[in-house]
Amino acid sequence: MTQLRKSKGALLKVFVIAILLLGVYISLVSATDSGEISAVIYPLKLSGFSAQIGTVEIEPPKFPEFSAQINTAEIIDTQYLKLVNRDFAITKPVSNTLLLYAWQSVSVRTKCIQLHKTALQALQELFVAAQSEANINYLFVTSGFRNQDVQENIYRNAIDRSFVMPPGHSEHHLGLAADILTPGRTLSSMVGSHEALWLAENASRFGLILRYPEDKQNITRVAYEPWHFRYVGRIHAWYMGQNNFVLEEYIAYLQEHGGYQVALNGKNYYVLYQRPQNGIIFVPENMDFNVSGANTGGYIVTAWR
Protein backbone atom coordinates (compact mmCIF):
# COMPACT_ATOMS: atom_id res chain seq x y z
CA MET A 1 0.00 0.00 0.00
CA THR A 2 2.74 2.41 1.03
CA GLN A 3 4.73 1.20 -1.96
CA LEU A 4 1.80 1.99 -4.25
CA ARG A 5 1.36 5.42 -2.74
CA LYS A 6 5.06 6.05 -3.07
CA SER A 7 5.16 5.07 -6.73
CA LYS A 8 2.04 7.12 -7.43
CA GLY A 9 3.71 10.04 -5.68
CA ALA A 10 6.87 9.52 -7.70
CA LEU A 11 4.89 9.41 -10.97
CA LEU A 12 3.07 12.59 -10.04
CA LYS A 13 6.38 14.20 -9.18
CA VAL A 14 7.84 13.26 -12.56
CA PHE A 15 4.71 14.59 -14.26
CA VAL A 16 4.86 17.90 -12.38
CA ILE A 17 8.57 18.27 -13.11
CA ALA A 18 7.95 17.51 -16.82
CA ILE A 19 5.22 20.16 -17.04
CA LEU A 20 7.45 22.56 -15.18
CA LEU A 21 10.40 21.96 -17.51
CA LEU A 22 8.11 22.41 -20.52
CA GLY A 23 6.92 25.71 -19.01
CA VAL A 24 10.48 26.87 -18.42
CA TYR A 25 11.43 25.81 -21.97
CA ILE A 26 8.51 27.71 -23.51
CA SER A 27 9.21 30.79 -21.39
CA LEU A 28 12.89 30.67 -22.32
CA VAL A 29 12.15 30.26 -26.00
CA SER A 30 9.59 33.05 -26.03
CA ALA A 31 11.83 35.25 -23.91
CA THR A 32 14.79 34.66 -26.21
CA ASP A 33 12.60 35.28 -29.23
CA SER A 34 11.39 38.58 -27.92
CA GLY A 35 14.87 39.47 -26.71
CA GLU A 36 13.80 40.04 -23.09
CA ILE A 37 15.12 37.46 -20.69
CA SER A 38 13.50 37.89 -17.33
CA ALA A 39 15.13 35.63 -14.77
CA VAL A 40 12.74 36.68 -12.04
CA ILE A 41 9.82 34.68 -13.38
CA TYR A 42 11.39 31.23 -13.14
CA PRO A 43 12.31 31.15 -9.47
CA LEU A 44 8.80 32.28 -8.60
CA LYS A 45 7.27 29.57 -10.75
CA LEU A 46 9.72 27.01 -9.41
CA SER A 47 9.00 27.79 -5.79
CA GLY A 48 5.27 27.54 -6.48
CA PHE A 49 5.66 24.13 -8.04
CA SER A 50 8.10 22.73 -5.52
CA ALA A 51 5.71 23.67 -2.73
CA GLN A 52 3.07 21.67 -4.57
CA ILE A 53 5.39 18.69 -4.95
CA GLY A 54 6.08 18.95 -1.23
CA THR A 55 2.44 18.66 -0.21
CA VAL A 56 1.64 15.89 -2.67
CA GLU A 57 4.22 13.58 -1.14
CA ILE A 58 3.32 14.05 2.52
CA GLU A 59 0.92 11.65 4.15
CA PRO A 60 -1.69 13.20 6.43
CA PRO A 61 -0.82 13.14 10.16
CA LYS A 62 -2.48 10.58 12.37
CA PHE A 63 -4.04 13.18 14.68
CA PRO A 64 -6.04 16.07 13.20
CA GLU A 65 -4.50 18.25 15.94
CA PHE A 66 -1.11 17.87 14.24
CA SER A 67 -1.90 20.36 11.52
CA ALA A 68 1.26 22.48 11.37
CA GLN A 69 4.36 21.56 9.41
CA ILE A 70 7.86 22.08 10.66
CA ASN A 71 11.17 21.55 8.91
CA THR A 72 13.41 19.12 10.79
CA ALA A 73 16.30 21.56 10.30
CA GLU A 74 14.45 23.94 12.62
CA ILE A 75 13.67 21.43 15.35
CA ILE A 76 15.07 21.75 18.84
CA ASP A 77 15.79 18.08 19.49
CA THR A 78 15.38 17.29 23.20
CA GLN A 79 17.06 13.87 22.70
CA TYR A 80 14.83 12.55 25.52
CA LEU A 81 13.96 9.47 23.45
CA LYS A 82 17.13 9.18 21.45
CA LEU A 83 18.18 5.57 21.17
CA VAL A 84 21.85 5.27 22.05
CA ASN A 85 23.12 1.72 22.31
CA ARG A 86 25.61 -0.70 20.77
CA ASP A 87 24.02 -0.16 17.34
CA PHE A 88 23.24 3.56 17.51
CA ALA A 89 25.86 6.17 18.37
CA ILE A 90 25.10 9.67 19.57
CA THR A 91 24.51 12.09 16.73
CA LYS A 92 25.46 15.26 18.57
CA PRO A 93 26.79 15.88 22.06
CA VAL A 94 24.49 17.51 24.59
CA SER A 95 24.83 21.27 24.61
CA ASN A 96 26.97 22.59 27.48
CA THR A 97 24.28 25.12 28.25
CA LEU A 98 21.92 22.30 29.28
CA LEU A 99 24.34 20.70 31.75
CA LEU A 100 24.22 21.57 35.43
CA TYR A 101 26.43 20.50 38.31
CA ALA A 102 24.43 17.80 40.04
CA TRP A 103 25.63 18.62 43.58
CA GLN A 104 23.47 21.74 43.51
CA SER A 105 20.33 19.55 43.54
CA VAL A 106 21.21 16.02 44.72
CA SER A 107 23.88 14.12 46.63
CA VAL A 108 26.83 13.11 44.50
CA ARG A 109 30.03 11.09 44.64
CA THR A 110 32.13 13.96 43.32
CA LYS A 111 31.37 17.61 42.72
CA CYS A 112 32.36 17.44 39.05
CA ILE A 113 29.35 15.29 38.06
CA GLN A 114 27.08 17.09 35.59
CA LEU A 115 23.61 16.20 34.31
CA HIS A 116 21.08 17.51 31.81
CA LYS A 117 18.93 19.97 33.75
CA THR A 118 15.69 18.09 33.01
CA ALA A 119 17.12 14.76 34.17
CA LEU A 120 18.53 16.43 37.26
CA GLN A 121 15.16 17.89 38.19
CA ALA A 122 13.57 14.44 37.82
CA LEU A 123 16.28 12.84 39.97
CA GLN A 124 15.82 15.42 42.67
CA GLU A 125 12.10 14.65 42.85
CA LEU A 126 12.84 10.92 42.84
CA PHE A 127 15.30 11.23 45.73
CA VAL A 128 12.82 13.28 47.76
CA ALA A 129 10.11 10.66 47.18
CA ALA A 130 12.49 7.83 48.12
CA GLN A 131 13.09 9.54 51.42
CA SER A 132 9.50 10.44 52.25
CA GLU A 133 7.79 7.31 50.91
CA ALA A 134 10.29 4.53 51.61
CA ASN A 135 12.69 5.99 54.15
CA ILE A 136 15.52 5.51 51.65
CA ASN A 137 18.00 8.17 52.62
CA TYR A 138 21.27 9.23 51.06
CA LEU A 139 20.79 8.07 47.51
CA PHE A 140 23.57 9.65 45.50
CA VAL A 141 24.65 9.97 41.87
CA THR A 142 27.92 8.22 41.14
CA SER A 143 28.07 9.00 37.41
CA GLY A 144 26.26 11.42 35.11
CA PHE A 145 27.31 13.13 31.90
CA ARG A 146 30.45 11.69 30.29
CA ASN A 147 32.28 13.03 27.28
CA GLN A 148 33.86 10.71 24.69
CA ASP A 149 37.32 10.84 26.30
CA VAL A 150 36.02 9.74 29.68
CA GLN A 151 34.04 6.91 28.08
CA GLU A 152 37.08 5.86 26.05
CA ASN A 153 39.05 5.61 29.27
CA ILE A 154 36.38 3.60 31.07
CA TYR A 155 35.99 1.30 28.08
CA ARG A 156 39.72 0.69 27.70
CA ASN A 157 40.15 -0.11 31.40
CA ALA A 158 36.97 -2.14 31.87
CA ILE A 159 37.46 -5.69 33.09
CA ASP A 160 33.90 -6.65 32.13
CA ARG A 161 32.70 -4.92 28.96
CA SER A 162 29.18 -6.35 29.25
CA PHE A 163 28.46 -3.26 31.38
CA VAL A 164 30.40 -0.72 29.35
CA MET A 165 29.54 0.83 26.02
CA PRO A 166 32.19 1.86 23.51
CA PRO A 167 32.76 5.63 23.25
CA GLY A 168 30.00 7.35 21.30
CA HIS A 169 27.49 4.65 22.28
CA SER A 170 26.86 5.52 25.92
CA GLU A 171 23.67 7.20 27.11
CA HIS A 172 25.86 9.07 29.56
CA HIS A 173 26.95 11.24 26.59
CA LEU A 174 23.41 12.67 26.50
CA GLY A 175 23.57 13.84 30.12
CA LEU A 176 20.21 12.07 30.53
CA ALA A 177 21.52 8.96 32.33
CA ALA A 178 22.56 8.68 35.96
CA ASP A 179 24.05 5.85 37.98
CA ILE A 180 22.50 5.81 41.46
CA LEU A 181 24.01 4.28 44.58
CA THR A 182 23.58 4.35 48.35
CA PRO A 183 26.52 4.63 50.78
CA GLY A 184 28.02 1.31 51.77
CA ARG A 185 26.85 -0.40 48.60
CA THR A 186 28.97 -1.15 45.59
CA LEU A 187 27.39 -1.36 42.15
CA SER A 188 27.15 -5.14 42.44
CA SER A 189 25.61 -5.10 45.91
CA MET A 190 22.81 -2.92 44.56
CA VAL A 191 21.45 -6.06 42.87
CA GLY A 192 18.35 -7.23 44.72
CA SER A 193 18.64 -4.49 47.35
CA HIS A 194 15.64 -2.73 48.90
CA GLU A 195 16.82 0.55 47.31
CA ALA A 196 17.20 -0.93 43.82
CA LEU A 197 13.75 -2.53 43.96
CA TRP A 198 12.12 0.71 45.10
CA LEU A 199 13.89 2.71 42.38
CA ALA A 200 12.89 0.25 39.66
CA GLU A 201 9.30 0.36 40.86
CA ASN A 202 8.96 4.12 41.23
CA ALA A 203 11.36 5.91 38.84
CA SER A 204 8.84 6.03 35.99
CA ARG A 205 6.61 8.41 37.99
CA PHE A 206 9.39 10.96 37.54
CA GLY A 207 10.07 10.26 33.87
CA LEU A 208 13.03 7.95 34.50
CA ILE A 209 13.40 4.33 33.39
CA LEU A 210 15.48 1.45 34.60
CA ARG A 211 17.36 1.18 31.33
CA TYR A 212 18.90 -2.28 31.55
CA PRO A 213 16.51 -4.66 33.35
CA GLU A 214 17.48 -8.19 34.20
CA ASP A 215 14.93 -9.84 31.89
CA LYS A 216 15.74 -7.77 28.79
CA GLN A 217 19.45 -8.39 28.40
CA ASN A 218 18.88 -10.14 25.06
CA ILE A 219 17.36 -6.89 23.73
CA THR A 220 19.53 -4.23 25.39
CA ARG A 221 22.70 -6.33 25.04
CA VAL A 222 23.82 -4.84 28.34
CA ALA A 223 24.07 -6.77 31.61
CA TYR A 224 21.52 -6.01 34.34
CA GLU A 225 22.31 -2.59 35.84
CA PRO A 226 19.98 -1.81 38.76
CA TRP A 227 21.78 1.52 39.22
CA HIS A 228 21.45 3.03 35.71
CA PHE A 229 18.42 5.26 35.09
CA ARG A 230 17.65 7.21 31.94
CA TYR A 231 15.37 10.19 31.59
CA VAL A 232 12.75 9.82 28.83
CA GLY A 233 9.85 11.95 30.14
CA ARG A 234 6.84 11.01 32.26
CA ILE A 235 4.37 9.92 29.64
CA HIS A 236 6.93 7.72 27.89
CA ALA A 237 8.23 6.20 31.13
CA TRP A 238 4.63 5.48 32.13
CA TYR A 239 3.77 3.87 28.80
CA MET A 240 6.91 1.77 28.78
CA GLY A 241 6.15 0.63 32.33
CA GLN A 242 2.58 -0.31 31.41
CA ASN A 243 3.78 -2.42 28.50
CA ASN A 244 7.01 -3.70 29.99
CA PHE A 245 9.03 -2.14 27.15
CA VAL A 246 12.69 -1.20 27.18
CA LEU A 247 13.61 1.78 25.02
CA GLU A 248 14.51 -0.43 22.05
CA GLU A 249 11.07 -2.07 22.17
CA TYR A 250 9.28 1.23 22.67
CA ILE A 251 10.89 2.89 19.65
CA ALA A 252 10.16 -0.20 17.53
CA TYR A 253 6.54 -0.15 18.77
CA LEU A 254 6.13 3.54 17.86
CA GLN A 255 7.71 2.94 14.46
CA GLU A 256 5.21 0.18 13.78
CA HIS A 257 2.05 1.72 15.25
CA GLY A 258 2.72 5.41 14.66
CA GLY A 259 1.74 6.57 18.10
CA TYR A 260 -0.98 6.79 20.71
CA GLN A 261 -3.18 9.17 22.64
CA VAL A 262 -3.72 8.82 26.35
CA ALA A 263 -5.26 10.75 29.24
CA LEU A 264 -3.11 10.68 32.35
CA ASN A 265 -3.27 12.75 35.56
CA GLY A 266 -5.77 15.17 34.06
CA LYS A 267 -3.79 15.78 30.88
CA ASN A 268 -4.26 14.54 27.33
CA TYR A 269 -1.07 13.33 25.69
CA TYR A 270 -0.48 12.74 22.01
CA VAL A 271 2.59 10.81 20.94
CA LEU A 272 3.39 10.49 17.26
CA TYR A 273 6.36 8.88 15.54
CA GLN A 274 7.08 10.42 12.18
CA ARG A 275 9.55 9.84 9.42
CA PRO A 276 10.24 13.23 7.82
CA GLN A 277 8.94 13.55 4.28
CA ASN A 278 10.80 16.15 2.27
CA GLY A 279 12.32 17.24 5.58
CA ILE A 280 8.89 17.98 7.06
CA ILE A 281 7.12 16.61 10.14
CA PHE A 282 3.77 17.57 11.64
CA VAL A 283 3.29 19.25 14.99
CA PRO A 284 0.17 20.57 16.74
CA GLU A 285 -0.79 24.20 16.39
CA ASN A 286 -2.60 24.70 19.69
CA MET A 287 -0.76 22.47 22.16
CA ASP A 288 2.52 22.43 24.00
CA PHE A 289 4.88 19.91 22.47
CA ASN A 290 8.45 18.77 22.25
CA VAL A 291 10.34 16.77 19.65
CA SER A 292 12.98 14.11 20.08
CA GLY A 293 14.90 12.37 17.35
CA ALA A 294 14.74 8.61 17.80
CA ASN A 295 18.09 8.02 16.10
CA THR A 296 16.33 5.69 13.65
CA GLY A 297 15.51 8.28 10.98
CA GLY A 298 12.26 9.24 12.73
CA TYR A 299 11.14 11.88 15.19
CA ILE A 300 8.78 11.51 18.13
CA VAL A 301 6.49 14.46 18.78
CA THR A 302 5.00 14.56 22.27
CA ALA A 303 2.12 17.00 22.77
CA TRP A 304 -0.10 17.68 25.77
CA ARG A 305 -2.95 19.86 26.99
Options 22-30, 52-60, 183-191, 226-234: segment touching Zn ion (CB under 5 A): 226-234
Least gap, CB of 150 to Zn ion (angstroms): 12
CB 208 within 8 A of CB 237: yes
| Ranges within 157-216 binding Zn ion (CB under 5 A) | 179
Options 1-9, 16-24, 45-53, 222-230: segment touching Zn ion (CB under 5 A): 222-230
* Ramachandran category for residue 116: left, alpha or beta (phi over 0 → left; psi -120 to 50 → alpha): beta
Q: Which of 146, 173, 228, 236 binds Zn ion (CB under 5 A)?
A: 228
d(CA 98, CA 28): 53
> Is residue 185 classed exposed, middle or buried when 0-12, 13-18 and 19+ CB atoms within 10 A define those classes?
middle
Active-site residue flag, 225: yes
Least gap, CB of 225 to Zn ion (angstroms): 6
- Half-sphere exposure of residue 4, counting CA atoms within 13 Å on the CB side? 1
**Complex with Zn ion: residue 143 or 302, whichever CB lies closer:** 143
Single out the catalytic residue among 65, 171, 195, 225.
225
Judged by CB under 5 A, the number of residues near Zn ion is 2
72: part of which helix (H) or strand (E)? none
**Complex with Zn ion: residue 65 or 179, whichever CB lies closer:** 179
Which residue has the closest beta carbon to Zn ion? Answer: 228
CB 208 within 8 A of CB 199: no
Least gap, CB of 119 to Zn ion (angstroms): 12
In 3D space, the residue among 61, 78, 56 whose CA is nearest the CA of residue 284 turns out to be 61
269: which residues sit within 8 A by CB, 6+ positions away? 235, 261, 262, 263, 302, 303, 304
> What one-character DSSP code corresponds to residue 263?
E
In terms of DSSP bridges, do strands 99-101 and 114-116 run parallel, antiparallel, or are they unpaired? antiparallel
**CA dihedral over 168, 169, 170, 176, signed as positive or negative:** positive
**Complex with Zn ion: residue 63 or 227, whichever CB lies closer:** 227
**Complex with Zn ion: residue 228 or 234, whichever CB lies closer:** 228
**Complex with Zn ion: residue 85 or 290, whichever CB lies closer:** 85
Q: Residue 69 pairs with which residues in a beta bridge?
A: 282
d(CA 302, CA 287): 10
Least gap, CB of 183 to Zn ion (angstroms): 18
Least gap, CB of 143 to Zn ion (angstroms): 6
**Complex with Zn ion: residue 228 or 236, whichever CB lies closer:** 228
Residue 290 dihedral angles phi and psi, to the nearest 5°: -135, 165
Least gap, CB of 211 to Zn ion (angstroms): 8
Options 53-61, 62-70, 194-202, 221-229: segment touching Zn ion (CB under 5 A): 221-229
Binding positions for Zn ion, rule: CB under 5 A: 179, 228
Active-site residues: which are they? 225
